[in-house]
Amino acid sequence: MAVDYGVYLVTDSTPAILGSRSLAGAVEASLRGGAGVVQYRDKTASHDDAVRTARELLAVTRRFGVPLLVNDRVEVAVEVGCEGVHIGQDDMEFQKARQMLGPDKIIGVTASSTEEALRACEAGATYLGLGTVYATQTKKDTKAIIGPHGVRDILAALAAAGHASVPTVCIGGINASNAGDVLLLAAAATTTTTTSGSTPAKSLDGVAVVSALVAAPDPADAARHLLGQVLRARVPDVVRSVAATTPLSHNMTNLVVQNIAANVALAVGASPIMANYAEEAADLARLGGALVVNMGTVTPDGLKNYLQALKAYNDAGRPVILDPVGAGATAVRRSAVETLLSSGRYAVIKGNASEMLVVRGGSGPLAQRGVDSTSQLTLAQRASLARDVARRHRCVALVTGATDLLSDGRRVVRVDNGHELLGMITGSGCTLGTAVSAMVCSPVGAAEPLAAAVAATVMFGIAAEMAAERPEVRGPGTFVPAFLDELYSIRKATAAGDLRWLVLAKVQAIDVPEDDASP
């Protein structure tokens, strides 16, 4: 099970926190809002009661495909067969827990100092909970309040010791008003380069919260709010991950946009490769990059090449991005999209509303009415479309427009960055596909495809806004070079820990009711 540590819920059954609500109800609402991990914490219930409650929660988490961890009580986790445990430094030691659970279960460990964090990583902890960040009512046996700076120091030590890939969440008094500060302080980490090479920076993967969800008037809404903050704070980490690894962006795209697509790839720190010969694809797929299949100019020969390359990347387990340009405009394109969709898997599918209606297929009221009708889609309908495409094709879907809508099938996120000048240059949509591919195949982005697609959309949109503001930009012609410069300077600033550009990021998780009529 791929774990998304972004919004991590720790339960609390004490009446002061839970009130008269049911625990399972609060958990379910948090999961609807986008929480990615649930930790059942109850230090006082009898074994039988704890097992009963854990089973009840497991039934809920399984429906959402989210792991359930049990705090401390390893024997309860073993009995209910949930995904793992979370242990503190005072709890049963790590090796004993590992022995009881077997090699594959998740074991998270709390750490409140650099020494504890390093020891936990060396023991083999799956992830770390860093804290206590702030004093809190829900956990009174607080060993050490370390504050956001303490968290940052531990992260730096983890990176320096080669543990940058161990996921981390911060815990202790985190709520809607302070989560952003803690996340951003951690996100401003820098990659340090020494004579022995460069040490990747490490930031937080998410926030662990108790009352901020369990005691919230609307846990779903509170979870969405936190998710938006986490995704926004993940942007620099993804951007840095691309810059640190220079992943290959293998683009099979149309001739019209080749130049700008290659330049965008370079500006964000990826390495573009232009190869339309499918025979090369198998070799290229092994180089650890991503493939962009862009349907800009479809010919029968081109389609054959695409299919061969798609298979090569799928076989190599590398991500493929589908950009179904002009899907639905002609019968040839409609059938090309169908062939491509039925022939392989995609990590991300991006397109505007008319293209994505074709990708989704099916028979919503607007599906058959052609391209023009999509301009009347409401935001809620486009959001629902993104989620439909993500579910149907088990991918991250990105529906572009003045507001971009992204979904992984469960969560839906809106990004309100960008500038109208982007719409006046050829291939800006296609080059967004290139940026997405770079982010999605970076080490950080590969583990979190939704965060990766959000990062590409945000970086792209903010670069456009900053370019448009520049005094020398008078229209589309002067915009293009300024846009490339801004992508480049965002990458440079991020690597240096300067995140001032991130104040422009507009990322929000939104509620899309399940019964909302699909377009």
Ligand X SMILES: *[C@@H]1O[C@H](CO)[C@@H](O)[C@H](O)[C@H]1NC(C)=O
Please give the positions annotated as active site: 430
DSSP assignment string, 96-133: HHHHHH-TTSEEEEEESSHHHHHHHHHHT-SEEEE---
Token pair 């990583």 is at which residue? 121
Which residue number, 305 or 494, has a Cβ lying nearer to ligand X?
305
In the complex, minimum distance from the CB of residue 2 to ligand X, in angstroms, rounded to a whole number: 29
Among 261, 395, 435, 454, binds ligand X (CB under 6 A): 261
In the complex, minimum distance from the CB of residue 60 to ligand X, in angstroms, rounded to a whole number: 25
Ramachandran sector of residue 102 (left: φ over 0; alpha: ψ -120 to 50; beta: rest): left
- Of 72-80, 90-98, 174-182, 447-455, the segment contacting ligand X by CB under 6 A is 174-182
Q: Is 371 in the site for ligand X (CB under 6 A)?
A: yes
Q: What residues between 18 and 37 interact with ligand X by CB under 6 A?
A: none
Cite the beta strand spans of 183-257 per DSSP E.
192-194, 197-199, 206-209, 248-252
What residues have CB less than 8 Å from 487, skipping those under 6 apart?
264, 267, 268, 435, 459, 460, 463
Among 108, 206, 228, 272, binds ligand X (CB under 6 A): 272
- Of 94-102, 213-221, 252-260, 417-425, the segment contacting ligand X by CB under 6 A is 252-260
238, 445 contact by CB (below 8 A): yes
In the complex, minimum distance from the CB of residue 252 to ligand X, in angstroms, rounded to a whole number: 6
Three-class DSSP category at 489? helix
Binding mask 121-160 for ligand X (x = CB under 6 A): -------------x--------------------------
Q: Is 428 in the site for ligand X (CB under 6 A)?
A: no
Which residue number, 61 or 251, has a Cβ lying nearer to ligand X?
251
Peptide bond into 142 cis (omega under 30): no
Q: Is 305 in the site for ligand X (CB under 6 A)?
A: no
The three-point CA angle 4-494-450 to 5° equals 25
Residue 429 to residues 228, 402, 405, Cα–Cα distance (Å): 24, 12, 14
- Of 169-177, 281-289, 380-388, 498-506, the segment contacting ligand X by CB under 6 A is 169-177
Q: In which element (H, E) is residue 172 found?
A: none
Among 61, 138, 374, 442, binds ligand X (CB under 6 A): 374
Best CA proximity match to 346, nearest among 294, 394, 296: 394
Distance CA(274)–CA(346), nearest Å, equals 20
Q: Is 466 in the site for ligand X (CB under 6 A)?
A: no
Binding mask 325-344 for ligand X (x = CB under 6 A): xx--x---------------
Best CA proximity match to 231, nearest among 179, 267, 189, 270: 179
Among 375, 376, 492, 517, binds ligand X (CB under 6 A): 375
Which residue number, 167 or 418, has a Cβ lying nearer to ligand X?
418
Which residue number, 178 or 489, has a Cβ lying nearer to ligand X?
178
Q: Is 355 in the site for ligand X (CB under 6 A)?
A: yes
Which residue number, 173 or 236, has a Cβ lying nearer to ligand X?
173
Among 166, 226, 353, 480, binds ligand X (CB under 6 A): 353
Best CA proximity match to 414, nearest among 451, 448, 439, 383: 383
Residues found near ligand X in the complex (CB under 6 A): 134, 173, 175-178, 251-255, 258, 261-262, 265, 272-274, 276, 325-326, 329, 352-355, 371, 374-375
